[in-house]
Structure formats: structure tokens, C-alpha cells
């Protein structure tokens, strides 16, 4: 093969990748590489110990809070980061280690709401450091609208800080909770973490290949009805695979409908979570929550659907005795 033919093939390959990236709305080679690395890290933690997986969730939530703090500061809304870090870490650890898991979650979330409200009222944040982080975001995220000059009441600042408690520590507790159900912590973690991600993947490919009918063009132009159906199909198939590899035939006779219901819930709620995150980003005038995950944006861009699905998966597994 001569050099000209090889060059033509490389050009065609680059054009094909560019077309895929444009249709997907992300850098697919980077996204795939990051996804493989994340899957490997999560599975390794689960294989070694569920405690290590809990620690990984804590680290991810700490990073997510840091991203959210910078994003909210773009529109001059500030959350007490250190207080949220401490409260989130205590909450997630207590949910796993305290014998009465639901009580631990309820008490810690109530305490967190009070502590965060007080911190937000006192405006406990570091101005110079956040300004440097904001300047860096403006440089690394083209299209981000600088709205630091907007004015908000102290009540609004407190409300946003308390909403953050309900959005991240509370929902993340539902990722930890299923680890304490019976002896199937590995399967439960797979269902909570990987099924929403698999649903996202199914929606992405179904939308790219068949997407014609827009689901919500004003909020997210890339979302389609066909993508939603693909999300549900992939989630249902994935749930059946996990159940087939985990539970015995006797349980299947009475619980065959659970993977079907679980997949439908994950497909719908996960898509709704993506739309909520897109609406939040649109209101703040940013494209991605962060840049920590190449091809995916920030931590919150990756875990928004997982956080939204976690309470539903948790309740369904508990209610069905799985």
C-alpha cells in the first residue's frame, strides 16, 4: 500500500470519527477510554471489598460537590463546600456501617441540612480561591457565560445549599444502602451503578442510529423518543443478565418480573435525570459540569442518572426482598 492510499484511509477514518463525535455530542474515543477505566476501577473495588467501594463513592461525591461549587459560583451562588464535604462523608459512612441504615441516613441528612443552612447563612466560603477556580473554568470551558455580577438574597444561598444536600448526599446514600441487603452486594452495586450507565449507552446508540422524534428539543436537542426506548431496552436486558447470574431458579419463579420493571424504571428515570441536569446546565449557562472525566465532562455529568435512579432501585430491591 502506497503512502497516498494510506493517507486517504487515515483521512476517511478521521472524518468518520468526527461524524460520530458530532452526532453523539462528545469525543467518543475519549469517552470509551474513560468508561473502560472507570468500570475497571469500580469492579476492582467491589472485588476487593464493599468498604473500598463505599470509599470510592465518597471520593466521587466529594469531587462532584467541588464541581458543583464552581458551577454555581459562575452565577454568584455559593455553597459551603467544607461543611458539605464533612456532612456527606459522615452520612455515607454511617449509612453503611451503622446497623440501622435508614435511621442513620435520616439522622445524618437532617443534621446536614441544619449544618449547611447555618454555614450558608454565615457565608463560610473562601473568596480568593473560588475566584481563581472560576477564572480557570472560563478559560477551559468556551461558551460559559460569566454571571458573577448577579445578586442573590441570603435566603436563596441557603436554599441552594440545602438543595445540594438533598441532591448529592441523600441520593448517594441510596447507592450505598443496597450493599447492606442480604448477601448480594456485588449484584446490587452493579444494578445501581452500571445499569443507568448501560441505559445511557443504549439511549446514545439508539438515538444516533434511529433518533427522529425529539424528546425535549428545548432542554436537550440530542434526546429522542427512539433513544428513550433504546435506554429502556438496554436496561431491561442488562437487569435480566445480572439477575440470571445472581439468583437461583426458585427465586426466578416468583421474581421474574423484577428485572423488567427495574429496566423500565431505570430507562425512564435515568433519561429524566439527564434532562434535569441539562436544564440545570442551561440555566447556569454552562456546557459541562466539569472536565475531570475526558469525553464525559465532569463527575456530575456521569453520575446524574445514577443518582436519580438509585432511590428507585434501592426501594424496589428492598420491597421485593432481593
Helix, strand or coil, per DSSP, at residue 202: helix
CA 71 to chain centre: 16
| Mean pLDDT, range 15-37, rounded to an integer | 58
What pLDDT is recorded for position 24? 47
What span, in angstroms and rounded, lies between the C-alpha atoms of 278 and 257? 32
What span, in angstroms and rounded, lies between the C-alpha atoms of 124 and 53? 31
What span, in angstroms and rounded, lies between the C-alpha atoms of 125 and 134? 14
Q: Is the pLDDT of residue 3 over 70?
A: no
Full DSSP string of 64-122: HHHHHHHHHHTTT----HHHHHHHHHHHHHHHHHSSSHHHHHHHHHHHHHHHHHHHHHH
What pLDDT is recorded for position 78? 84
What pLDDT is recorded for position 138? 54
| Mean pLDDT, range 97-116, rounded to an integer | 93
Note the pLDDT tens digit of each residue in 55-95.
999 999 998 898 888 888 878 888 888 899 999 999 999 99
Q: Is the pLDDT of residue 16 over 50?
A: no
Mean of all residue pLDDT scores within the chain? 79
This prediction's pTM = 0.80
Backbone angles phi, psi at 237, to 5 degrees: -60, -45
More confident residue, 145 or 223: 223
Q: CB under 8 Å to 95, separation ≥6 — which residues?
A: 101, 104, 105, 108, 173, 176, 177
What pLDDT is recorded for position 279? 78
Burial code (b: 16+ CB inside 10 Å, e: under 16) for 6-36 equals eeeeeeeeeeeeeeebeebebbbeebeebbe
What pLDDT is recorded for position 137? 56
What pLDDT is recorded for position 265? 92
Report percent pLDDT > 70 for the chain.
Answer: 75
Least confident residue range of 124-133, 150-159, 189-198, 281-290: 124-133
What pLDDT is recorded for position 297? 62
* Nearest partner of 82 among 109, 119, 129, judged by Cα: 119
| Mean pLDDT, range 194-206, rounded to an integer | 84
| Mean pLDDT, range 9-33, rounded to an integer | 53
| Mean pLDDT, range 52-56, rounded to an integer | 93
| Mean pLDDT, range 265-287, rounded to an integer | 80
Residue 221 host element (H or E)? strand 220-224
Q: CB under 8 Å to 262, separation ≥6 — which residues?
A: 191, 195, 235, 236, 239, 313, 316
Note the pLDDT tens digit of each residue in 112-171.
999 999 998 887 555 555 655 555 655 555 556 556 566 777 888 889 999 999 999 999
Amino acid at each position: 500500500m502506497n503512502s497516498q492510499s494510506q493517507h486517504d484511509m487515515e483521512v476517511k477514518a478521521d472524518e468518520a470519527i468526527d461524524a460520530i463525535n458530532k452526532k453523539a455530542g462528545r469525543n467518543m474515543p475519549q469517552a470509551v477510554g474513560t468508561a473502560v477505566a472507570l468500570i475497571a476501577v469500580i469492579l476492582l473495588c467491589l472485588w476487593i471489598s464493599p468498604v473500598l467501594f463505599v470509599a470510592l463513592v465518597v471520593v466521587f461525591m466529594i469531587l462532584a460537590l467541588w464541581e458543583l461549587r464552581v458551577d454555581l459560583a459562575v452565577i454568584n451562588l455559593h455553597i459551603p463546600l467544607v461543611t458539605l464535604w464533612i456532612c456527606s462523608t459522615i452520612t455515607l459512612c454511617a449509612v453503611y456501617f451503622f446497623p440501622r441504615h435508614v435511621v442513620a441516613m435520616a439522622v445524618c441528612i437532617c443534621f446536614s441540612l441544619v449544618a449547611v443552612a447555618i454555614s450558608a447563612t454565615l457565608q463560610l466560603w473562601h473568596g480568593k480561591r473560588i475566584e481563581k477556580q472560576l477564572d480557570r473554568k472560563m478559560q477551559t470551558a468556551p461558551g460559559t457565560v460569566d454571571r458573577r455580577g448577579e445578586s442573590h438574597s441570603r435566603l436563596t444561598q441557603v436554599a441552594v445549599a440545602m438543595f445540594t444536600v438533598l441532591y448529592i448526599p441523600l441520593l448517594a446514600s441510596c447507592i450505598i444502602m443496597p450493599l447492606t441487603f442480604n448477601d448480594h452486594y456485588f449484584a446490587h452495586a452493579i444494578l445501581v451503578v452500571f445499569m443507568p450507565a448501560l441505559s445511557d449507552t443504549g439511549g446514545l446508540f439508539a438515538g444516533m442510529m434511529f433518533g427522529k422524534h425529539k424528546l425535549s428539543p428545548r432542554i436537550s436537542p440530542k434526546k429522542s423518543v427512539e433513544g428513550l426506548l433504546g435506554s429502556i431496552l438496554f436496561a431491561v436486558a442488562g437487569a435480566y443478565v445480572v439477575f440470571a447470574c445472581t439468583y437461583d431458579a426458585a427465586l426466578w419463579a416468583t421474581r421474574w418480573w423484577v428485572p423488567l420493571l427495574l429496566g423500565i424504571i431505570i430507562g425512564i428515570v435515568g433519561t429524566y435525570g439527564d434532562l434535569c441536569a441539562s436544564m440545570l446546565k442551561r440555566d447556569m449557562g454552562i456546557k459541562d459540569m466539569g472536565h475531570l472525566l475526558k469525553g464525559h465532562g465532569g463527575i456530575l455529568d456521569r453520575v446524574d442518572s445514577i443518582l436519580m435512579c438509585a432511590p428507585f432501585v434501592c426501594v424496589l430491591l428492598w420491597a421485593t426482598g432481593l
